[in-house]
Amino acid sequence: MALIRFSPFVLVYIALFSRLCFAADPTISYDFKVIAIGGNFPGPLINATTNYNVVVNVHSGLDENFLMTWTGIQMRRNSWQDGVLGTTCPIHSKQNFTCNFQVKDQIGSYFYGPSLNLQRASGGFGPFIVNNREIIAIPFAQPDGDFIIMIGDRYTQNRTVVQHRS
């Protein structure tokens, strides 16, 4: 018989995590409108290669302003494409905007999503993967595969109700 040892940290972590995972009534469901991208929720994968240009045409079908941000992507010499209010103007309702930027000298996993008015709580986000160029070696072993996990938070009320209450 093997003796299994757990450190106190692991036990506390498991206990806290399991406590957070279970709701009082897991059968309760809520109906909300979501922000879908191309009919998908979460949005589709953007798969790019470092030092290449990325062109994304964003058409807002919402009844409010929308602003798409590219979290973690360095916007060198074009901060107006970053999607942060103050450096980028929002996309007005029923309008479109073409984002054109270069993913320069970076590789890894990122995500994109809205940056206004708790809109990310309604969706509009998706994965953004930047791969290395074949002529540039990566500083670690080649991974066996990729798994994309998008974690989001949900409210028990629509995000517009939550926004107006705060």
- Selection from 161, 65, 58, 59 nearest residue 116 by Cα: 65
Stretch 34-46: mean pLDDT, rounded? 81
Q: What is the pTM of this model?
A: 0.69
pLDDT band at 17 (very low <50, low <70, confident <90, very high): very low
Q: Is the pLDDT of residue 122 over 80?
A: no
User: pLDDT digit string (tens) for 60-88?
Assistant: 887 888 888 888 888 877 766 666 777 77
pLDDT band at 58 (very low <50, low <70, confident <90, very high): confident
Which alpha helices (H) appear in the chain, and where do they start and end? 8-21, 159-165
pLDDT band at 35 (very low <50, low <70, confident <90, very high): confident
- Selection from 121, 126, 124 nearest residue 166 by Cα: 121
The mean pLDDT of the chain is: 74
Fold for the domain defined by 32-136+147-165: Immunoglobulin-like (2.60.40)
Backbone angles phi, psi at 112, to 5 degrees: -120, 160
Domain borders along the chain are 32-136+147-165
Tell me, what's the pLDDT at 163? 66
Stretch 79-102: mean pLDDT, rounded? 79
